[in-house]
Structure 1
Amino acid sequence: MTHQMYPCLWFDGQAKAAAEFYCSIFPNSKITAENPLVVKWELDGKPFMGLNGGPKFKFNEAVSFVIHCDTQEKIDYFWNSFTKDGGEESNCGWCKDKFGVSWQVVPSVLEELMGHPEKRERVIQAFLKMKKFDIETLLNA
C-alpha cells in the first residue's frame, strides 16, 4: 500500500481559481477533480488539494513552497507570475501570490555557493539586499 502525501491549502472560496492560476504557471499541470468543497490538481505531476474552508484561516510565511531554478529566466518567470495581480515581493527570494501563498524562488546554484566557506558570507550579504534573486550578482559575490 502506498501512502501519498500532498498539501491541502485552505482558501476562502477560491480553491478553483487558485488551482487554475497555479496550473497556468507550472508545466504539465492540470485540475484532476473538483466539487464545491474540494479541488484537486497536479503541478508538474505533484498532487495538491484546495479546500474552500471559508475565512477562518489565512496563509502566512510559516509554510512556503520552494522552487529551485537553474536560470535567471526561470527565476524571473516564476517571480513575475506570483507577484503580478496582487502578489507581494519580500526579501531573499520570498514572495506571495495573489492568494497569500508564500513561495521561495531560489537559484539552484545557491546551495553550492553556500557550501564554499570562503564565499558564504559575501553571498549571504549579497542576497540579504535582494528581493528577487539575481544569479549573476550571487556568482560575483
Structure 2
Amino acid sequence: MKTKISPFLWFDTQAEEAADFYCSVFPNSKVGTISRYTEAGQEHHQRPPGSGMVVSFELDGQKFTALNGGPTFQ
C-alpha cells in the first residue's frame, strides 16, 4: 500500500495568496475550493466576512491545504 502525504500549511492571513503564488510557479497546478469566513463566530475568529479560511490546491498532482488560522500557535 502506498501512503500519500497531504501537507497542511498554516498562515496568519495569506493562504489564498500563497496558493495563487505556488500555482503560478509550478506547472500543472490549480487552486481548488476556497472556504470563506462568515459573520457567524466573528467574535472568535476576528476575520472579515468573505475572507479566505481554507484553500485547497494542487501542485503538479500533489494536493495541499492552506489555512488562515492566525498567529495562535506561534
Could you state the TM-score of these two structures normalised by the residue count of structure 1?
A: 0.37
Look up the match of 2:33. Answer: 33
Look up the match of 2:7. Answer: 7
Look up the match of 1:23. Answer: 23
Look up the match of 1:109. Answer: none
Q: CA RMSD in A?
A: 1.8
Look up the match of 1:48. Answer: 64
Cα distance, 1:4 vs structure 2 = 4.7
Could you state the TM-score of these two structures normalised by the residue count of structure 2?
A: 0.68
Cα distance, 1:54 vs structure 2 = 0.3
Structure 1: runs of 5 or more not aligned: 59-141
Q: Which has the higher contact order (CA 8 A, sep 6+)?
A: 2
* Count of residue pairs brought into register by the alignment: 57
Maintained 8 Å contact 1:10/1:57: no
For residues 98-124 of structure 1, give each alpha carbon's deviation from its aligned partner in whole angstroms, at most 9, with x where no partner exists.
Answer: xxxxxxxxxxxxxxxxxxxxxxxxxxx
Maintained 8 Å contact 1:39/1:51: yes
Task: Flag as ranges the 4+ runs of structure 1 deviating above 4 A.
Answer: none
Question: Which has more strand, going by share of residues?
Answer: 2
For residues 39-92 of structure 1, give each alpha carbon's deviation from its aligned partner in whole angstroms, at most 9, with x where no partner exists.
Answer: 00000110000001002345xxxxxxxxxxxxxxxxxxxxxxxxxxxxxxxxxx
- Distance in 2 (CA, whole Å) between partners of 1:38 and 1:54 is 12
Question: Percent identity between the aligned chains?
Answer: 55
Which letter maps to 1:19? A
Question: Which has more helix, going by share of residues?
Answer: 1
